[in-house]
Amino acid sequence: MILAKTLAASGIEVDVYESKSNVSDGSEKASGIISKIGLDRIGVEYKKSIVNKLSGAILHSGSRKLRIKSNDTKAYVIDRGKYVEECASEAKREGAKIYTNTRFSPNDLIRLKDQYDAIVGADGAVSTVAKTFSFPPIGSYVLTYKAEYSGADVGETDVVDLFFDNTMMHNFFGWSVPYSHDIMELGLGIDSAYKKNSKAVFDRFVKKPEIAEMLKSSNMVSGHASMIPLETRQKTVIGNVLLVGDAAGQTKATTGGGIVFGSGCASIAADSITRYINQGIPLSRYERAWRRKYGFEMFLHKKIHNLYSSSSPARMDRIFNVVKAIGGEKFLGSYGDMDRPSIMLKRLIFRGLISD
C-alpha cells in the first residue's frame, strides 16, 4: 500500500490486487510494535492506530533479567488493522486502484507481466509472485503463534518482555506485549528447521510460572499461527518483476519486525519504478539501492540473531551478566535503536574512544 501510495503520488497508474475482502483481514496474526522513528519516517498517519506506548523491554534468560528502559516513548503498539486501512485509504486518495477479493494465480501473473510496465510481488512470506517467476527461495523462516488475553495481570504497561529459552523457543524467543493494564498479547517464534508446531510450543510456554501468573484470571480472546521470513532472497528483481517486504525477506532477523524495512524498501522500489518508466533506468537499480541502504543493518540483525539463537540458557545467563557488569542496560536504555544496530555500534565505539 505504501508503494502504491508513493507511485500514485508521482503520477504512475497503479493497480493493487488483494485476495482478501478487506485489506485489514488477517492483520491480527501479526504484532504491531513499531519504533516511533520508523513510523514517523514511513509518513502514513498512525496516531489513530496507537494502542499503547512503549519505553523499553525486559529481557529474560534462564535465570537473569536485563531491564532496558528509556525515559521517552521509543515505540508504539499499533492496531495493524487500522494502520493498513489508513495506508490503503492514503493510497486510494493518491489515485491507486485497489481490487479486493482478487487473488492472482501464476497464470494470471504470467499474463499480467506483459500488460504492465512492472509487477511488484508484495504478497507476503509465501509469495506466489516469487514462485511464479522462479526467484531464489528464502531458506529460513520462523513459525509463530500469537494470542490476545483480556483480564490479565499485565504489570508494567510500558515495557515488553522477551523470553529467551532455546530449549523451548528454538532459535527465536517468546514475548508479552501490554495493550493496557489488563489486556495483553503473548507470542513466540520457533525456527521452521525444528519442524515443530508453534501452537504446541505455545501451550508449553504459557505454563512457564511467570507467564501463568500473569494469565491466572484471564481469558484468551484470539490466537493465530503465522510465519516470518528470516533472511532476504538473493535476488529481488528479475526483468520487470520486483519483490518487496516479506516477499523479499526484508525483515529484522533479531525480532522478525518487517514494517520499517519493508516500507523503506517499498519507497525505494517506487522511486526505481518511476525512474524506469520516466527515464528508462533499468529496474535492477532497486536491488542495488535497497541493499545499499538496509543491507548492513540486516547483516547486523542477523549476527545478533545468530548470537542468541546459538546460546543455551546458561550461556544467555553469562551474556546477560557481562552486559549488566559493563553498564549495558543503561547504555541500551539511552542509545538502543530497535531498527538500526549500526547506530548503537557507532555510539559504543565512540564511547570507548572517549573513555580511553
Ligand X SMILES: Cc1cc2nc3c(=O)[nH]c(=O)nc-3n(C[C@H](O)[C@H](O)[C@H](O)COP(=O)(O)OP(=O)(O)OC[C@H]3O[C@@H](n4cnc5c(N)ncnc54)[C@H](O)[C@@H]3O)c2cc1C
Q: Which residues bind ligand X (CB under 6 A)?
A: 17-20, 29-34, 103-104, 122-124, 128, 144, 146, 187, 226, 228, 245-247, 251, 256-260, 262
| Burial of 293 from C-beta contacts in 10 A (0-12 / 13-18 / 19+) | middle
Q: What cell numbers appear for 325 in the block? A: 557488569
Quote the CA–CA distance of 339 and 253 in Å, as a whole number: 11
Nearer of residues 293 and 324 to ligand X, judged by Cβ: 293
Q: What cell numbers appear for 207 in the block? A: 505454563
For 338, half-sphere exposure in the C-beta direction (CA atoms, 13 angstrom radius) is 27
In the complex, least distance from residue 47 CB atom to ligand X, rounded to whole angstroms: 18
In the complex, least distance from residue 267 CB atom to ligand X, rounded to whole angstroms: 13
φ, ψ at 245 (rounded to 5°): 75, -145
Only one residue has cell 548492513, namely 296
Nearer of residues 190 and 332 to ligand X, judged by Cβ: 190
DSSP 106: H
Nearer of residues 168 and 247 to ligand X, judged by Cβ: 247
Nearer of residues 129 and 332 to ligand X, judged by Cβ: 129
Q: Do 153 and 171 touch, CB atoms closer than 8 A?
A: no
Quote the CA–CA distance of 36 and 46 in Å, as a whole number: 10
In the complex, least distance from residue 19 CB atom to ligand X, rounded to whole angstroms: 4
In the complex, least distance from residue 112 CB atom to ligand X, rounded to whole angstroms: 11
Question: Strand 183-191 relative to strand 174-178: parallel, antiparallel, unpaired?
Answer: antiparallel
In the complex, least distance from residue 85 CB atom to ligand X, rounded to whole angstroms: 12
Nearer of residues 124 and 333 to ligand X, judged by Cβ: 124
Residue with CB nearest ligand X? 258
Cα distances from 15 to residues 118, 139, 266, 281, in angstroms, run 11, 30, 15, 22
Nearer of residues 146 and 233 to ligand X, judged by Cβ: 146
Q: Do 44 and 270 touch, CB atoms closer than 8 A?
A: no
Nearer of residues 129 and 214 to ligand X, judged by Cβ: 129
Nearer of residues 308 and 319 to ligand X, judged by Cβ: 308
φ, ψ at 134 (rounded to 5°): 55, 45
* Partners of 312 in beta bridges: none
Among 120, 95, 66, CA closest to 332: 66
DSSP assignment of 49-67 equals GEEEEE-EEEEE-SS-EEE
φ, ψ at 59 (rounded to 5°): -100, 130
In the complex, least distance from residue 325 CB atom to ligand X, rounded to whole angstroms: 30
Nearer of residues 228 and 237 to ligand X, judged by Cβ: 228
In the complex, least distance from residue 259 CB atom to ligand X, rounded to whole angstroms: 3
What residue type is 351 in one-letter code? R
In the complex, least distance from residue 135 CB atom to ligand X, rounded to whole angstroms: 14
Among 142, 140, 141, 145, CA closest to 201: 145
In the complex, least distance from residue 142 CB atom to ligand X, rounded to whole angstroms: 8
